Chains A and B, each alone.
Chain A
Amino acid sequence: GQQLNQSPQSMFIQEGEDVSMNCTSSSIFNTWLWYKQDPGEGPVLLIALYKAGELTSNGRLTAQFGITRKDSFLNISASIPSDVGIYFCAGQAGYALNFGKGTSLLVTP
């Protein structure tokens, strides 16, 4: 599959801080998606982006589809303890999704 480079690999932050993570690829994608995985569960869709340049918000989460179609970022504002988990970016060019390796987020009260 097409490789997605997701960074950072992990983050350890204090409650209330803002968080930013990003994903890049050498390939162009038609759709970018961001998922969150809680411990012991499957990933859950947070935000889907369908057009280059698109900026979309979902509560405290904001994500953008890069102009080049080869990158995307996710921001979380005013983090809270329940934001803990692994965040995955995913890009779609062919039939199935290609996933990044994930960003592990830890939030201390």
Chain B
Amino acid sequence: GQNIDQPTEMTATEGAIVQINCTYQTSGFNGLFWYQQHAGEAPTFLSYNVLDGLEEKGRFSSFLSRSKGYSYLLLKELQMKDSASYLCAVRDSNYQLIWGAGTKLIIKP
């Protein structure tokens, strides 16, 4: 079957750096997405990776290794507003999105 694993919850300190990992086993691969979802709100798009390597976008970076079925989202200079759930999603060979359960990130002062 298809599966995406991410930690359920992580805690970090304001101003610090945190890395959220995502591993996947899917039927084919056509890209990996990271979304941010604040409580009670819809997800918002953060990043997209289809080739191996690091994609940087401001304070957020996302890394992909297709051979390892692995990605991470790196958040720098954490702010209180970064407290949210972070969803990893993989597009399979049929271009269907497979969603992870999300990682709840708690930022402490």
A binds B: no
B interface residue numbers (CB < 8 A to A):
none
